[in-house]
Amino acid sequence: MKQVIVINQDIKMGKGKMCAQVAHASLEAYQRAPWFNKWQWERSGVKKVVLKAPEKELLRLYDQAKKQGLNPVLIRDAGHTQLEPGTITALGIGPYPDEVLDNITGHLKLL
Protein backbone atom coordinates (compact mmCIF):
# COMPACT_ATOMS: atom_id res chain seq x y z
CA MET A 1 0.00 0.00 0.00
CA LYS A 2 1.18 3.50 -0.75
CA GLN A 3 0.10 7.03 -1.44
CA VAL A 4 1.32 9.06 -4.41
CA ILE A 5 1.66 12.84 -4.49
CA VAL A 6 2.53 14.52 -7.80
CA ILE A 7 3.85 18.09 -7.73
CA ASN A 8 3.16 20.51 -10.60
CA GLN A 9 6.64 21.16 -12.02
CA ASP A 10 5.40 23.97 -14.27
CA ILE A 11 5.24 26.45 -11.39
CA LYS A 12 7.94 27.85 -9.13
CA MET A 13 7.36 27.30 -5.42
CA GLY A 14 9.69 27.74 -2.50
CA LYS A 15 10.62 24.55 -0.63
CA GLY A 16 8.37 25.38 2.29
CA LYS A 17 5.43 26.10 -0.01
CA MET A 18 6.02 22.85 -1.86
CA CYS A 19 6.13 20.91 1.42
CA ALA A 20 2.84 22.48 2.48
CA GLN A 21 1.21 21.52 -0.84
CA VAL A 22 2.43 17.93 -0.46
CA ALA A 23 0.93 17.87 3.04
CA HIS A 24 -2.41 19.19 1.74
CA ALA A 25 -2.48 16.55 -1.01
CA SER A 26 -1.53 13.75 1.39
CA LEU A 27 -4.21 14.61 3.93
CA GLU A 28 -7.01 15.19 1.42
CA ALA A 29 -6.20 12.02 -0.53
CA TYR A 30 -6.15 10.03 2.71
CA GLN A 31 -9.55 11.42 3.69
CA ARG A 32 -11.03 10.29 0.35
CA ALA A 33 -9.59 6.76 0.42
CA PRO A 34 -11.70 3.74 1.39
CA TRP A 35 -11.50 2.90 5.12
CA PHE A 36 -9.99 -0.55 4.49
CA ASN A 37 -7.17 0.98 2.43
CA LYS A 38 -6.48 3.44 5.26
CA TRP A 39 -6.40 0.61 7.77
CA GLN A 40 -3.99 -1.48 5.65
CA TRP A 41 -1.78 1.51 4.88
CA GLU A 42 -1.47 2.51 8.51
CA ARG A 43 -0.36 -1.01 9.39
CA SER A 44 2.13 -1.29 6.53
CA GLY A 45 4.32 1.75 7.18
CA VAL A 46 2.33 4.64 5.64
CA LYS A 47 4.49 4.74 2.48
CA LYS A 48 4.34 7.93 0.42
CA VAL A 49 6.02 8.68 -2.90
CA VAL A 50 6.40 12.25 -4.19
CA LEU A 51 6.74 12.63 -7.95
CA LYS A 52 6.78 15.50 -10.42
CA ALA A 53 4.98 16.22 -13.69
CA PRO A 54 3.81 19.14 -15.82
CA GLU A 55 0.32 20.46 -15.09
CA LYS A 56 -1.11 18.94 -18.28
CA GLU A 57 0.05 15.51 -17.09
CA LEU A 58 -1.39 16.11 -13.58
CA LEU A 59 -4.78 16.75 -15.16
CA ARG A 60 -4.52 13.64 -17.33
CA LEU A 61 -3.54 11.50 -14.33
CA TYR A 62 -6.38 12.98 -12.28
CA ASP A 63 -8.89 11.99 -14.99
CA GLN A 64 -7.39 8.52 -15.32
CA ALA A 65 -7.47 7.91 -11.55
CA LYS A 66 -11.02 9.24 -11.32
CA LYS A 67 -12.19 6.90 -14.09
CA GLN A 68 -10.70 4.01 -12.11
CA GLY A 69 -12.62 5.06 -8.99
CA LEU A 70 -9.52 6.03 -7.00
CA ASN A 71 -10.85 9.33 -5.55
CA PRO A 72 -7.90 11.54 -6.55
CA VAL A 73 -7.58 15.12 -5.32
CA LEU A 74 -6.23 18.19 -7.10
CA ILE A 75 -4.80 20.81 -4.77
CA ARG A 76 -5.42 24.43 -5.75
CA ASP A 77 -3.61 27.17 -3.90
CA ALA A 78 -5.60 29.77 -1.96
CA GLY A 79 -3.28 32.52 -3.21
CA HIS A 80 -2.29 33.97 0.16
CA THR A 81 1.47 33.89 -0.43
CA GLN A 82 3.50 32.96 -3.53
CA LEU A 83 0.90 31.85 -6.09
CA GLU A 84 -2.23 33.14 -7.75
CA PRO A 85 -5.52 31.84 -6.29
CA GLY A 86 -6.61 28.59 -7.95
CA THR A 87 -3.15 27.56 -9.14
CA ILE A 88 -2.96 23.76 -9.34
CA THR A 89 -0.01 22.72 -7.18
CA ALA A 90 -0.37 18.98 -6.60
CA LEU A 91 -2.28 15.77 -7.18
CA GLY A 92 -2.86 13.23 -4.43
CA ILE A 93 -3.96 9.62 -4.87
CA GLY A 94 -4.27 6.92 -2.27
CA PRO A 95 -3.53 4.95 -0.32
CA TYR A 96 -4.09 2.09 -2.74
CA PRO A 97 -2.08 -1.03 -3.59
CA ASP A 98 1.34 -0.27 -5.08
CA GLU A 99 0.58 -1.96 -8.40
CA VAL A 100 -2.63 0.05 -8.89
CA LEU A 101 -0.80 3.36 -8.45
CA ASP A 102 2.24 2.19 -10.42
CA ASN A 103 -0.04 1.56 -13.42
CA ILE A 104 -1.02 5.24 -13.34
CA THR A 105 2.11 7.04 -12.12
CA GLY A 106 4.96 4.55 -12.62
CA HIS A 107 6.38 6.50 -15.58
CA LEU A 108 6.95 9.69 -13.54
CA LYS A 109 10.23 10.79 -11.96
CA LEU A 110 10.78 11.29 -8.26
CA LEU A 111 10.76 14.85 -7.00
Q: What is the pLDDT of residues 77-100, one digit of tens each?
A: 887 888 888 899 999 999 999 999
Domain 2-110 sits in CATH 3.40.1490.10: yes
Cα 65 to Cα 1: distance, rounded to the nearest angstrom: 16
Q: Are 107 and 60 in contact (CB under 8 A)?
A: no
pLDDT in tens, 6-24: 999 999 999 999 999 999 9
pTM of the full structure: 0.94
Other C-beta atoms lying within 10 Å of the C-beta of residue 88: 18
Write down the domain spans for the chain.
Answer: 2-110
